[in-house]
Amino acid sequence: MKLLSYYCLKLALNERRTASLKHLLRISNTFRLKHENYDKSIHISAAHHKKPNTGSRPKNDRLLKYLPKIKDKMRGQEVKVWDKITMKQLSEILGRDLDFMFSLMAHFKDVPYDSPDSQIDNPHILNEFIKKAGFNAVFIVAPDKVKKHEDIELSLKRPPPDPKSMVKRPPVVAIMGHVDHGKTTLLDSLRNSSIVDQEFGGITQHIGAFSVKVTSGETVTFLDTPGHAAFSAMRARGASVTDIVVLVVAADDGVMEQTLESIRYADEADVPIVVAINKIDKPKADIEACKKALLQHGIQLEDGGGDVQTVSISASKGENLDVLIDVILTQAEMMELKGDPKGLVEGAVVESQVDPVRGKLCTAIIQRGTLRKGSVLVGGQAWAKVRAMFNEHGNLIQSAPPSTPVEILGWKDLPNAGDEIFEVGSEKIARAVVAEREYKKAQAKMDTDEQLIKEKMMQHDRTYKEERIKRLKKGHFRPGYVQRTKENADLDTGPRLLIILKGGDVDGSVDAILDALDTYHSSLCELDVIHYGVGAVTLSDVELADACGAVVFSFNTNTLSDAKETAKKKRVQIKDFNVIYRLIDAIKEEINSRLPTTLREEILGEAEVLQEFVVTEGKKKYPVAGSKCIKGVLKKSGKFRLKRGNDVLFDGSLSSMKHLKTEVNSIKKNIECGLRLSDSDIRFQQGDTLICYEMVEADQKIDWDPGF
């Protein structure tokens, strides 16, 4: 028994429980003779198994037949594994004992995984090992790490604050309403600035957050939201982070589409409304008509016994602005707005942007805690260590208590507008949270893609079965009777416009443009955004556009000098805009330029049949329409359509056009003529109509309405 190891004994007994001693010795001798590279026999004690360094397995190794058999029903199943999984964990997942694991691992050369706690840190070996075991590997994040990250995620949002620690805070007020109703002019007058002069096209194209100190000494934080139809998502964000909504309605224009949209957002966010009827100095101002229109849409004004306060103002002349401020402060006093200035910071991203000098910035409203330099923040899938903070004037500030709008510098990546901000204890925790969020997003995308693939396959199967039934009904029973088409036969080879979109303004503006592009649905030309982002147009953008044949559209941003030079050399188009509807119009023109021309019917003239004549040429008789041109001109080279009432009897060419006895090429209005069609079987009746037309090439135009 000296040559027979415990390991060989166990393998043999697994195969034959009643094996004789002679049979076991024969197995051991076979094993020793086949492996001539062994200097000594293998000895494995019952207490500890040491894996022999056997190298690669000989092809005629008879010992393998004594390995435990893998049931056929288990083969091919997917098992979830992760990096640095231990041999013990893997054995539990596969449902095999450790002896089986070590015996299977023996077929890999020079591997150190020889104990239950050995961590398999080579993904390639792990994948091959699982294949040999009869399974398919699916790599996931280690469960202990996922649990740790989920615990961190749950701990980000703090429990409600202690009422004793709450202090009075300034109200956050959103100015909302229809485009060109005077929202930005109102803010301009409140803080004595000139915001309107800086807005391209006279419209606000992003949210602006400002703190205004009123004459009473109190502070109010204002948000100026865009009124343009393309920026509905921004208005929704503005309503969700505010305490009070000031709804601006122009007295000479009344309640409009974006006015109603703003009311809906305020209702969804459960935020009280104060109505400011603006432009009362205009000649066509009608305050009462505005109030009636608001009442019809569910705004119960104080004049009608409701609780919504109304102030009539003139933002451009500063009339009644002090009354509006008093109403806002009174509403805030009734709401008893308080905040917790202590502990970890919580807030909301209003906008994010890339500053050419300062780098990645985001504008945020602090909702809890006091933000200071050095704080570590997490927002969406981005994190930051606060390097500096700025107010709305670009001045450095040292702290930002609740209700303070602040620009935060120090982001590693840009957060998205609308993301919640949480302060965490360290950079390590911030990285862990962001990594977990990225993983969850990737998993969600994989699940969505998998569902789409399944739906596509089901649709393909249905189409295939329908086509197959049709072929069978036609008698095509033989396999391969129908000619197979190439896989790429149904690929779209029509017109296509590829776009690279860069915005240097704010993240929300890029989102608004993308939302507008999402409304495009046309089979005439495919529209794809292959890349978008916030920041200047760089060399990599130009190179990508050159490789793909794309057009670069920039919005409120500049182009780097090296990118300009490369674009000029490679003839890459870079189109700059600072007003959103002009950018959309340019995209429409670009699409139209790619559409092929189409043939359009152009009516040249019309003739009335007065009488039919029959002429003889040789032995054959031909009917001739004695006609009079009653509209336009008749051309012999054109096409003619013969109509009798609503029926079309002929559509084709002429074989003869005569005036009196002379063959002519055209007939003008009020001139009589004889017309003979190319089809001699067609007969004419008095009162028939002959329409002369020709097919001309015409440019196509896309029918796309983005909603503004």
3 state DSSP class of 42: coil
Band (pLDDT 50/70/90 cuts) for residue 240 is low
Q: Which residues pair with 173 in a beta bridge?
A: 222, 244
- N residues, the chain: 708
Of all residues in the chain, the percent with pLDDT exceeding 70 is: 78
pLDDT beyond 60 at 173: yes
Does pLDDT of 451 surpass 90? Answer: no
DSSP 181: S
pLDDT greater than 90 at residue 623 = yes
The closest of 396, 380, 379 to 345, measured between CA atoms, is 379
Q: What is the distance between the alpha carbons of residues 544 and 500, in angstroms, rounded to a whole number?
A: 9
**Rounded Cα–Cα distance for residues 52 and 43 (Å):** 9
Which residues have CB under 8 Å from 629's CB, separation 6+?
Answer: 605, 606, 607, 667, 668, 669, 670, 671, 672, 673
Q: Which H or E run includes 442?
A: helix 427-473
pLDDT at site 485? 37
Q: Give the Å distances, CA to CA, from 211 to 79, 393, 400, 419.
A: 57, 10, 12, 21
For residue 350 the two structure tokens come to 């209003």
CA distances from 690 to 179, 472, 652, 675 (A): 54, 48, 11, 9
Q: How many CB atoms are located within 10 Å of the residue 505 CB?
A: 20
Spatial neighbors of 349 by CB under 8 A, at least 6 apart, are 362, 363, 364, 379, 380, 415, 416, 417, 418, 419, 420, 421
Least confidently predicted of 18-22, 363-367, 604-608: 18-22
Give the residue from 297, 458, 436, 324 showing the smallest Cα distance to 380. Answer: 436
pLDDT tens digit string along 349-367? 887 877 777 888 888 888 8
Confidence band, pLDDT 50/70/90 cuts, at residue 636: very high
d(CA 549, CA 287): 54
Question: What backbone phi and psi angles, to 5 degrees, belong to 698?
Answer: -140, 145
- As a 3-state breakdown, the chain gives helix, strand, coil percent values, each rounded to 5, of 35, 30, 35
**Amino acid, res. 699:** D
Q: Is the pLDDT confidence value at 250 over 80?
A: yes
In which element (H, E) is residue 8 found? helix 6-15
**How far apart (Å, rounded) are the C-alpha atoms in residues 560 and 569?**
15
pLDDT of residue 231: 35
Closest CA to 629 of 653, 609, 601, 655: 609
Any idea which of 46-60, 252-266, 333-347, 564-578 has the lowest mean pLDDT?
46-60
pLDDT at 423 over 60: yes
pLDDT at residue 146, as a whole number: 54
CA geometry: angle 417, 419, 423, nearest 5 deg: 130
Please give the domain boundaries of the chain with CATH numbers for all domains. Answer: 78-145 (no CATH), 167-339 (3.40.50.300), 340-465 (2.40.30.10), 496-594 (3.40.50.10050), 598-698 (2.40.30.10)
Instruction: Supply 705's token pair.
Output: 């309405």
pLDDT exceeds cutoff 90 at 627: yes
Q: Which pair of tokens denotes residue 619?
A: 């032995």
CA-based torsion, 340, 341, 346, 351: positive or negative = positive
What's residue 642's pLDDT? Answer: 93
Given a contact cutoff of 8 angstroms between Cβ atoms, the answer to whether 24 and 18 are in contact is no
With tokens 């600035």, the residue in question is 193
pLDDT score recorded for residue 206: 42
Q: Which pLDDT does position 225 carry in this prediction?
A: 63
* pLDDT computed for residue 668 by the predictor: 93
Q: What is the average per-residue pLDDT within 108-113? A: 73
Strand duo 376-379 + 598-617: pairing: unpaired
> pLDDT per residue over 404-415, tens digit each?
888 899 998 888
Q: What is the CA radius of gyration of the chain?
A: 40
Any alpha helices (H) in 246-403, and if so which ranges?
Answer: 257-269, 287-296, 321-335
* Average pLDDT value for residue range 255-276: 83
> What does the alpha-carbon distance between residue 54 and residue 37 come to, in Å, rounded to a whole number?
8
* Paired sense of beta strands 338-339 and 244-250, if any: unpaired
Band (pLDDT 50/70/90 cuts) for residue 15 is very low
Give the pLDDT confidence score for residue 635 in this predicted structure.
93
Alpha helices in 475-633 (DSSP H): 507-518, 539-548, 561-570, 580-594
Q: Where are the alpha helices (DSSP H) in 231-388?
A: 232-240, 257-269, 287-296, 321-335
User: Is 80 exceeded by the pLDDT of residue 629?
Assistant: yes
pLDDT in the model for residue 170: 87
Residue type, 2: K
At residue 50, the pLDDT reads 42
Mean pLDDT for the stretch of residues 430-456: 82
- Specify whether the CB–CB gap between 101 and 90 falls below 8 A: yes
pTM: 0.52
Range with top average pLDDT, 80-84, 158-162, 647-651: 647-651
Helix (H) or strand (E) holding 224: strand 219-224
Give the pLDDT confidence of 208-233 residue by residue, as tens digits. 677 777 767 788 888 766 533 333 44
Average pLDDT over residues 121-126: 83
Residue 188's pLDDT band, with cuts at 50, 70 and 90, is confident
Over range 443-454, report the average pLDDT. Answer: 81
**Confidence category of residue 477, pLDDT binned at 50, 70, 90:** very low
Average pLDDT score, the chain: 77
Cα 568 to Cα 427: distance, rounded to the nearest angstrom: 43
Whether the predicted pLDDT of 469 surpasses 60: yes
Does pLDDT of 401 surpass 80?
Answer: yes
Run of H or E residues at 387: strand 382-390
pLDDT at 649: 92
Q: Which of 178, 309, 294, 293 is nearest to 235 (CA)?
A: 178
Q: Which of 565, 493, 552, 582 is nearest to 201 (CA)?
A: 582
Q: What pLDDT, in 10s, does the model give residues 479-517?
A: 433 333 333 334 456 788 899 988 865 556 777 788 788
For the ranges 53-67, 70-84, 471-485, 595-609, which has the lowest average pLDDT?
A: 53-67
In the prediction, which pLDDT does 654 show?
93
Q: Which residue has the tokens 């700059």?
A: 576
pLDDT of residue 620: 87
What are the pLDDT digits (tens) for 515-548? Answer: 788 888 888 888 888 888 888 888 888 988 888 8
Compute the distance between CA of residue 121 and CA of residue 113 in angstroms, rounded to an integer. Answer: 10
- The pLDDT value given to residue 208: 61
pLDDT tier for residue 151 given thresholds of 50, 70 and 90: low
> What is the pLDDT at residue 488?
38
Helix (DSSP H) and strand (DSSP E) numbers for the chain = 17, 34
Between residues 288 and 144, the one the model is more confident about: 288
Q: What is the pLDDT of residue 144?
A: 65
The DSSP output letter for 178 is S
